[in-house]
Amino acid sequence: MKLWDVIVIGAGPAGAVAARAAALRGLTVLLVDQATFPRRKVCGCCLNRHALSALSAAGLGELPAKLGAVPLERVRLATGGRNAVVRLPGGVALSREAFDVALIAEAVQAGATFLPGTRVRLDESESTASCVSLSSGLRAKALIVADGLNGRVRADAPVVQTGSRIGAGAILTDAPDDYEPGTIFMATGHGGYVGLVRLEDGRLDIAAAFDASFVQTHGLAGAASKILQSSGLPGLPGLLDANWKGTPPLTREPVQVAGPLWFAIGDAAGYIEPFTGEGMAWAMASAVAVIPLVERCVAGDSLDLPAEWVAVHRACVGERQWACRALARSLKRPTLCRLAVRALQWIPALATPVVRSLNRSLMSPSGVR
């Protein structure tokens, strides 16, 4: 059985970027995913400036434009029949079907081997001090766990925050022209919020976060319809008949983000309700940051690496996750949201600190922009 330098579990943005980066360093890399591609994901499909800087740090800065990504200029916040427009330039909208497939292709072109449709688990009983083993008989000197929000590569389950909202998403082929390209629409209300954005092929992507009790009462489609109606945004014919997908509770923390010969990145390293592309930014930023530690692990220098990755990951994405945690808490308070929208109608500049935070370029722990 071949001994790989690195096995990456999960071929989303975090896993594919990490696999490509490791292959470019001359390592033998196997990228594995239980899904086949293209696949549909519950995702806002936004890459903000932070996400794009992480992509550039990985050497893939031109990829979104090649795929026809839609430049984003603004966010329209709506609640209680009022709405306010905040400028948020520098990001793009891009479907996950196109983006994920392109990132996997880049990893394969760099030298990684891709194995889709394969489910694996960490076999700690067969792992040694110099080799990690998986349930399918695969072995590697280092393992990158990028299996997402509900991954099951490791035996221990993540800790779910009490009251965590669940995610939901759908894509509409036909939608009113009121939802113009270049704008992120955000509707908030009792029970959750709904984000909408036009994709490169003209479809309307819908991504939402709902209280579990709200979904139990109204269903995913009904919950989205209720919030859009109360917010004052235009109605969406076909919303109730769309193919909706849900997620497990969003806000969760793993028991560990690293261990002997393995490192968790992306959503597998913890997740907080993101805002305008931050989840994608965390995924790719952590993929870039983990590679120097993986190289050392492959070379046999693995003793202190788990503790190092905890510190590096915290420096890389921890601060921004706390900012999103604060935003998520604000979005759970409809009265506060209404006051914020009213204030922004009169003084749009009040959003400047948040816009600056979201548009701040990536600075990796090594100082590489």
Contact between residue 145 and residue 156 where contact means Cβ atoms under 8 Å apart: no
What pLDDT shows up at residue 353? 63
Residue of 118, 133, 122, 126 whose CA lies nearest to 156: 122
> How long, in residues, is the chain?
369
Cα–Cα distance measured from residue 30 to residue 67, given in angstroms and rounded to the nearest whole number: 25
Whether 28 maps to a domain, the answer reads yes
Whether 241 maps to a domain, the answer reads no
CATH of the domain at 32: 3.50.50.60
What pLDDT shows up at residue 326? 60
What pLDDT shows up at residue 352? 64
- The first and second tokens of residue 25, run together, are 């360093």
What pLDDT shows up at residue 364? 44
Instruction: Give the CA radius of gyration of the chain.
Output: 20
Whether 238 maps to a domain, the answer reads no
> Per the structure, how many domains does the chain have?
1
What pLDDT shows up at residue 368? 34
Whether 195 maps to a domain, the answer reads no
Whether 68 maps to a domain, the answer reads yes
Please give the average pLDDT of every successive group of 10 residues along the chain, which has 369 residues: 93 97 98 93 88 92 97 91 86 96 98 95 83 90 88 62 82 94 92 94 94 94 95 91 85 76 88 70 91 95 87 78 60 68 69 63 42
Compute CA 59 distance to the chain's CA centroid, rounded to the nearest angstrom. 19
Residue of 238, 281, 275, 273 whose CA lies nearest to 252: 273
Contact between residue 268 and residue 10 where contact means Cβ atoms under 8 Å apart: yes
- Domain range for 16 is 3-161+250-359
Q: Which whole-number Å values give the CA distances from 127 to 10, 141, 163, 335, 350, in the listed order?
A: 20, 10, 37, 53, 53
Residue of 326, 323, 319, 317 whose CA lies nearest to 280: 317
Whether 368 maps to a domain, the answer reads no
What pLDDT shows up at residue 303? 76
Contacts 24+ apart (CB under 8 A), 316-323: 316/285, 316/286, 316/289, 316/364, 316/365, 317/269, 317/281, 317/282, 317/285, 317/286, 320/50, 320/278, 320/281, 320/282, 320/357, 321/270, 321/272, 321/282, 323/357
Q: Hunting for tokens 């922009």 — which residue is that? A: 369
Whether 181 maps to a domain, the answer reads no
Whether 117 maps to a domain, the answer reads yes
Cα–Cα distance measured from residue 328 to residue 209, given in angstroms and rounded to the nearest whole number: 10
Residue of 269, 265, 268, 270 whose CA lies nearest to 285: 265
Q: Per residue, what are the HEC states of 208-265?
A: EEECHHHHHHHHHHHHHHHHHHHHCCCCCCCCCCCCCEEEEECCEECCCCEECCEEEC
Cα–Cα distance measured from residue 198 to residue 77, given in angstroms and rounded to the nearest whole number: 16
Q: What 3-state class would DSSP assign to 12?
A: coil
